[in-house]
Structure 1
Amino acid sequence: MAVFDLPVLTKAERRRATKFREFLLDEGFTMMQLSVYIRFTGGKEQALAITNRIGKKVPKNGKVDVLFFTDKQYQNIFSFRGRRDEPKPERPDQLTLF
């Protein structure tokens, strides 16, 4: 999970923030919220390689945290979506992300 806070006060900063979000999508991440993206990997080595690529793409003055969860830990996340009855997002099939 990549969680970030990027400056967006100027046009150039907004452009860099958009490019960073597009980079995450190109890397196979899915947006949970505007500044929260997730991706499943086949193991810790692959997750660390992706984390290194993220670190190289962080915009100037940006703050990015990468969190690691096991499948079991992810299954125990509680998601609330206002008052609407929406199903919890299901764990995507790993094969569809590669």
Structure 2
Amino acid sequence: MDRYSEYRIMWILVFFDLPTETQKDKKAYALFRKNLQKDGFTMFQFSIYIRHCASYENAEVHIKRVKSFLPEFGQVGIMCITDKQFEQIELFYGKKPHGKNVAGQQLELF
């Protein structure tokens, strides 16, 4: 199988619903988002962050890292999908289709 096959490349999706009622809650929310960004995740929607990984093994490293900085309260979901599955997502702004997802470009250095 090709090293960078669309079935081997993975996307991690992290969705969360965290409380923001108290100042402590807001700080935990901001720290969680900051840690996601520090680990290479980008915002897909307000409470959904995504990260491109070259393999499932690489994705496991980042999933473990996310689990290490989970906030004390709130709900967090983590899901892995293949590049091929990610490609099938249909995006809309209102009723207008946004077009195809732009997958991360895999660069290979020699």
Question: If the length of structure 1 is used for normalisation, what is the TM-score?
Answer: 0.87
Which of 52, 72, 79 matches 1:67?
Answer: 79
**Alignment identity in percent?**
35
Unaligned segments of structure 2, at least 5 residues: 1-12
Unaligned segments of structure 1, at least 5 residues: none
| Larger fraction in strand | 2
Q: Tell me the CA shift for residue 92 of structure 1.
A: 1.8
Instruction: Work out which of the two has the higher radius of gyration on C-alpha atoms and give 1 or 2.
Output: 2
Which of 63, 80, 91 matches 1:79?
Answer: 91
Q: Provide the residue aligned with 1:47 in structure 2.
A: 59
Which range moved further: 85-94 or 23-32? 85-94
Q: Provide the residue aligned with 1:57 in structure 2.
A: 69
Q: Tell me the CA shift for residue 34 of structure 1.
A: 1.3
Which of 25, 29, 32 matches 1:20?
Answer: 32
Question: May I ask how many residue pairs the two structures share in their alignment?
Answer: 95
Q: Provide the residue aligned with 2:10 in structure 1.
A: none
Rounded to whole Å, the distance in 2 between the matches of 1:85 and 1:5 is 26
- Secondary structure of 2:54's match? coil
RMSD after superposition: 1.5
Question: If the length of structure 2 is used for normalisation, what is the TM-score?
Answer: 0.78
